[in-house]
Structure 1
Amino acid sequence: MLDPLHIPSHLWADRTVRAALDARDIGALFRHVSRLTHASQTRIGAAVGLEQGYVSRIMAGRKVTSIDVLERIADGCRMPDEARMALGLAPRQRSFPQDMANFVHQRQCDPPVTRSWRADVSAAAQLWEGEVNRRDVIRQVAFSSAGYTLPALRWFTVPPPQDVGQSGRRSVGQPDIDTIREMTATYRRLDNQYGGGHARKTVTRYLHQEITPLLTEGHYDPPTGRRLLSAVAELTQLAGWQAYDTADHGAAQRHLTLALNLAHAAGDSVLGAEILAAMSHQATYLGHTGAGVDLARAAGQTANLAGVTVLTAEAFVMEAHAHASAHNESACAHALHQAERTLDRADRSSAPRWLGYFDEAYLSAKFGHCFTALGKPTQAERFAVRSLRMDESYVRGKAFNLALLATVQVQRNEPDRACAIGAEALTLTSQLRSARAAGYLYDLRTQLAPHRRRPAVRHFIHQVDATLGPRRDGYNSPRA
């Protein structure tokens, strides 16, 4: 693991650095930081959430113009407010707590972090345009768990804007919003059936070509504006989920962050809770279990305030999985118990349509993952079997659950049975464009390797290799 980047405070008063900030010359800044701290390009990139190759190009003279990337660099370098303002960014006026679980308790005394909803719209439009045009800056931004701290803090400390109306040249009304909702439902169905890679490009093109003009050129009053931003936030969250499913984690984080910002501007706390839960899901999957716990708790606080009990149960499940991945058995057991109790009293009739996936089968799968992570195959098997009593339209979910049950069989020292179940999962995964589904099977293959002398195991390993090809870096070892 790389040591954290430490930049001495006196550097920000250096004339060379101030000149670089005034000129927005990030390359000169990085070169000076590297000389002073002896930090490698990889270490600088890890601190600011950029790939080493992109840092190299910046240091060679490539300009950085994206406000989102400049914000990420300023946060990663822990710039003081004077340096931020020299770079043309708003001052922070505070240091951020690392524990998101304390956000709600602190929001009465913490000064708010100001940001206009129009800035969120502008950032979203820039991201969607970059995705469609495959701009290098979009592809090179890496995931950083710290990148979720500020938007989650803002969610709790800043009241939603009152005036989200706009006087544009194009009238926007309820039919436009209904269309976005229906398109989102269609894309979500395709995502569940075929994986995130199937329609991801189509979704980003729709956001860029259809949604951006509505947001930036539309004429709408504040109530319509809030409904519009809510609908767009839901679709943006789906775009983030698709990016996550295809292992494009930096893009996923940027979409989920923007989705949360747009939901905040819309005053949609129900959707905000779901987005925070998705952030927790991604953080835990990538091994950032502390952030996973904090984000899950933030989701739970939001769901509680919104009065949506099903979402509160989901937040407990996300927290439990983060605890299990961190091997904290007692905390996991407590969160799972809370999830069961909460779901028992939930009124599903009032739950939003997009929460339809959260049923008994989904809950059983998450329980199974928790017990698998804790090395308890007997309990894990019981829940993994239950998870297969599911809606067959969730093809990717069924591939996940079959892979889970196969993994449990390896833990129970039943490799032949694991291969038989794994083969079913492989058949479904071959029909999907999902890095997570493939990741489960690569992980299963690795776990079966010690049993390679068994014919069934050799055959299964050959099937995985022939169907999915060699493992690539984008396929993380699945944790969620």
Structure 2
Amino acid sequence: MGSSVGANIRRYREERGWSQARLAREVCLAAGVQGEPVGRQEVSRWETGKRTPREWLPFLASALGVPVEALREPQTPAEPPLPTLADFLPDDDPLEPLSARPGGRVGMGQVDDLQQRVHSLRLADDFLAGGDLMRPALRELRKAVRIYREHGYTGLTGRQLLVQIGELAQIAGWIASDAGQHEEAERIYRLGLSAATQAEDHTLAGNLAGSLAYQLSNTGREIEALDLARAALDGAGLDAPPKARALYLDRVAWAHTKAGGSENAQQAMRALGEASEALSADSEGTESPAYLYWVDAGELQVMESRVYTELRRPLRAVPLLRDVLGRYDATHTRELALYLSWLAVAYADANEPEEAAATAERVISLSADVASDRTAERVKVVLARLAEYADVPEVRAVLDSAA
């Protein structure tokens, strides 16, 4: 019975557009119980068949507005459902509040303070690399989770705390990934996804899922990345803020690109076009979250040029990259090194080894003082690509110097 019931619960829940956290609350209301003996994690276990609802089944049916038998009804075998963000939540519930909370009450003033610290960390990431920010980022995240689990607060304050934990997890995960701590980054991203889902902030959940998908694309888990990037886009919906939707589509484009093959290349180009269309809607006055301040036409241009580089289309990539780099803020050392690395590879693909060598020198020089795993990996990629032109004197000099 378990698998059929779980599949039916998920189907009816998704038909109503409810999150697992919302269904958990509705079940408790239907049962007339105080507190939340059923939480999001329990709903997840029911849906995956790890547990059977048993005594909760009538209340589930009542909450969903269907007869109990409709939940027990065997489903006709069909194609596996497309993954949703719920499939990528952590198995445990790292945000479950303690039954006995030793701390006092938390008010919106403390939430506002946390919001300021999260924003400061985000701005610091524009100038500093993951290796420099890893410790303070993890310290802030642990502190925020501890406040949520150990203190009391109103429902509104609790939701805002979850939102800030989600935002903090996104930037902390990004920092951990930049420091090369990919397992830690994934754990942090999934924690943030849980927080954003419980807060029912679909835009933030999409941002976290897209960030994790980006890491998976770059660390050899391309198929999983593609599933997650699509789930992020679908989960946010068509009414997501323009900048957010553009970013999700960018992540989808990158996931398709890294997955390889002509069909994926076509899908990547389609997603890039849709991202540009989504961003153009931003001028129509729809407000996007403050944490997406960096998403603009220039960033989309960078992603487009990187896709072209990966697809070995240097005649499209080089002009785009040169245009972006010609007006890029030189104080953003890590990003400048990363973007130049793509230009160096594109020059090599265009059979311009001298230009590639000159650009590679800048990449290596900028990367030398940056504690970023991303730039270190890109240097390796650039050098490997240059090795094909080892007989060119300018290239030989760069390779010998790097060695």
TM-score interval w.r.t. the shorter chain? 0.7 to 0.9
Q: CA deviation at 1:93?
A: 6.5
| Contact persistence 1:112–1:154 (CA under 8 A) | no
| Length-normalised TM-score, structure 2 | 0.74
- Distance in 2 (alpha carbons) for counterparts of 1:302 and 1:390: 33
Question: What amino acid sits opposite 1:385 in the alignment?
Answer: R
- Distance in 1 (alpha carbons) for counterparts of 2:13 and 2:267: 23
Asked whether 1:188 is paired with 2:122, we answer yes
Equivalent position of 1:257 in the other structure: 190
Equivalent position of 1:274 in the other structure: 207
Equivalent position of 2:69 in the other structure: none
Q: CA deviation at 1:386?
A: 2.7
* Aligned pair partner of 2:220 in 271, 282, 287: 287
* Aligned pair partner of 1:245 in 178, 195, 204: 178
* Aligned pair partner of 1:169 in 96, 103, 109: 103
The 1:334–1:105 alpha-carbon spacing in structure 2 relative to 1, beyond 3 Å, is farther
Q: CA deviation at 1:309?
A: 1.4
| Contact persistence 2:348–2:385 (CA under 8 A) | yes
Q: CA deviation at 1:370?
A: 0.9
Q: CA deviation at 1:402?
A: 0.8
| Length-normalised TM-score, structure 1 | 0.63
Equivalent position of 1:140 in the other structure: none
Deviation beyond 4 Å, 4+ runs, structure 1: 91-96, 103-106, 109-115, 163-168
Equivalent position of 1:116 in the other structure: 39
* Aligned pair partner of 2:273 in 326, 337, 345: 337
Larger CA deviation: 103-112 vs 240-249: 103-112
- Distance in 1 (alpha carbons) for counterparts of 2:309 and 2:217: 15
1:394-413 equivalences in 2 (<5 Å): 394-413=332-351
The 1:385–1:112 alpha-carbon spacing in structure 2 relative to 1, beyond 3 Å, is same
Question: What amino acid sits opposite 2:248 in the alignment?
Answer: A
Larger CA deviation: 338-347 vs 302-311: 302-311
| Contact persistence 1:165–1:220 (CA under 8 A) | no
Question: What amino acid sits opposite 1:346 in the alignment?
Answer: D
* Aligned pair partner of 1:354 in 268, 273, 291: 291
Equivalent position of 1:369 in the other structure: 306
- Distance in 2 (alpha carbons) for counterparts of 1:425 and 1:105: 52
What is the aligned residue count?
A: 336
Equivalent position of 1:473 in the other structure: none
For residue 371 of structure 2, give the secondary structure of its aligned residue in structure 1: coil
Asked whether 1:223 is paired with 2:223, we answer no
The 1:306–1:224 alpha-carbon spacing in structure 2 relative to 1, beyond 3 Å, is farther
- Distance in 1 (alpha carbons) for counterparts of 2:352 and 2:198: 52
Equivalent position of 2:381 in the other structure: 443
1:117-132 equivalences in 2 (<5 Å): none
- 1:28-62 superposed Cα distances (whole Å, 9 cap, x missing partner): xxxxxxxxxxxxxxxxxxxxxxxxxxxxxxxxxxx
- Distance in 1 (alpha carbons) for counterparts of 2:235 and 2:334: 28
| Contact persistence 2:178–2:374 (CA under 8 A) | yes
The 1:315–1:379 alpha-carbon spacing in structure 2 relative to 1, beyond 3 Å, is same
Question: What amino acid sits opposite 2:282 in the alignment?
Answer: A
Equivalent position of 2:237 in the other structure: 304
| Contact persistence 2:249–2:275 (CA under 8 A) | yes
Equivalent position of 2:65 in the other structure: none
Q: Which runs of 5+ in 1 are unaligned?
A: 1-79, 82-90, 97-102, 120-148, 156-160, 466-480
The 1:93–1:403 alpha-carbon spacing in structure 2 relative to 1, beyond 3 Å, is farther
* Aligned pair partner of 1:457 in 367, 383, 395: 395
Q: Percent identity?
A: 25
The 1:112–1:462 alpha-carbon spacing in structure 2 relative to 1, beyond 3 Å, is same
Q: CA deviation at 1:391?
A: 4.0
Equivalent position of 1:73 in the other structure: none
Equivalent position of 1:475 in the other structure: none
Root mean square deviation of aligned Cα: 3.4
Question: What amino acid sits opposite 1:337 in the alignment?
Answer: G
Question: What amino acid sits opposite 1:461 in the alignment?
Answer: L
* Aligned pair partner of 1:387 in 303, 321, 324: 324
Q: CA deviation at 1:358?
A: 1.2
Question: What amino acid sits opposite 2:166 in the alignment?
Answer: A
| Contact persistence 2:125–2:133 (CA under 8 A) | yes
| Contact persistence 2:312–2:346 (CA under 8 A) | no
Q: CA deviation at 1:291?
A: 2.5
Asked whether 1:433 is paired with 2:371, we answer yes
| Contact persistence 1:313–1:342 (CA under 8 A) | yes
Larger CA deviation: 168-177 vs 264-273: 168-177
Q: CA deviation at 1:301?
A: 2.3
Question: What amino acid sits opposite 1:408 in the alignment?
Answer: A
Q: CA deviation at 1:416?
A: 1.4
Q: Which runs of 5+ in 2 are unaligned?
A: 25-37, 43-82, 90-94
- 1:287-322 superposed Cα distances (whole Å, 9 cap, x missing partner): 333333322222222333553111111111111122
The 1:93–1:197 alpha-carbon spacing in structure 2 relative to 1, beyond 3 Å, is farther
Question: What amino acid sits opposite 1:303 in the alignment?
Answer: A
- Distance in 1 (alpha carbons) for counterparts of 2:238 and 2:213: 18
- Distance in 1 (alpha carbons) for counterparts of 2:146 and 2:257: 44
